[in-house]
Amino acid sequence: MTLRIVFLDRATIAPGVEIRSPNFPHEWINHQQSSHEDVRDRLKGAEIALTNKAPIRADDIAQLPDLKYIGVTATGTDIVDLDACRQRGIVVSNVRGYAVKTVPEHVFALMLALRRGLMGYRADVITGEWQKAGQFCFFNHPIGDLGGARLGIVGSGAIGSAVARIAAGFGMEAVFAGRKDDTRPTPPKVPFRELLATADVITLHCPLTAETADLMGDAEFAAMKPGAMLINTSRGGLIDAAALVRAIESGHLGGAGIDVLPKEPPPSDHPFMAIAGRPNFILTPHVAWASAAAMQELADQVIGNIEAFMAGHPVNRVA
């Protein structure tokens, strides 16, 4: 019998990205999207499953006796029940390192747009404010430099470290936060509360765990330096969305650039949708990771992971 590979959500990789064929005989089945209700039927008889956002839970795994390998086409693996996979001997691999250029560059795109008021000025030009000014420029929105500003980075992994390197090129002072409950972190990390109080921009690059859920809420926004800005390209659950909206509307938070939400796409009544048109708030649709080069690297890793598994030496293994 030919080995069956099922990709549950091929549409999470752009159609122009080539996913090469693995170097062994197989049957490949693409589904553009899959809900949780689709998973068991679509994986029936499959030995290899690929998923980005389609959940594979313990009760699904119990009903899929042929399943031997799950390839997560992302770095985060909370979409798969890893404990259930370990109990069944199912190997799970993820992809790593593909976003160390694209995500930091998106962070700085958001940061620059917010610090320089680009969204507001662009809207003003469209509505004729430049003509009304009657001179070569006008000053409807505050403009701040990155040079000399303090950048607080929450998360010191590959992406957070890449952000710090770019910050150095702008002449920023980049500092990393210690854990929220650690008042005396090991240098060069600084206490989380100190970072809140002193950073001009804070950017989040930590995983979503029980410890980091709602990392930024009303108390944390109140503790931030007045006029400071927040960037989140990591996980939506790190932020209490309603609290962020209150901080923006009060004027205490100078701006926010958000690329990730707990539920994507957001419902029409999500708190962020009420402020999506503000010049100091930018919401992008989870595309920080999605440069053409990064998506190709991801696709190549996915196939490389499968081939390594089939050769008997799994790589990027998480279970």
249 is written with which tokens? Answer: 């509307």
235 catalytically annotated: yes
Contact present, 244 and 230 (Cβ < 8 Å): yes
249 catalytically annotated: no
Within 10 A of 23 (CB to CB), how many other CB atoms are there? 11
| Residue 50: alpha-carbon gap to chain centroid | 19
Could you tell me the sign of the dihedral formed by the alpha carbons of 160, 165, 166, 172, in that order? positive
What single-letter amino acid sits at 136? F
**Exactly one of 47, 106, 235, 297 is catalytic; which is it?**
235
Could you tell me the sign of the dihedral formed by the alpha carbons of 176, 259, 235, 294, in that order? negative
What single-letter amino acid sits at 129? E
286 catalytically annotated: yes
3 is written with which tokens? Answer: 């080995």
**Exactly one of 286, 297, 313, 317 is catalytic; which is it?**
286
What is the C-alpha separation between 317 and 319, in angstroms, rounded? 6
Contact present, 223 and 196 (Cβ < 8 Å): yes
**Exactly one of 264, 278, 307, 313 is catalytic; which is it?**
264
Which residues are the active-site residues?
Answer: 235, 264, 286
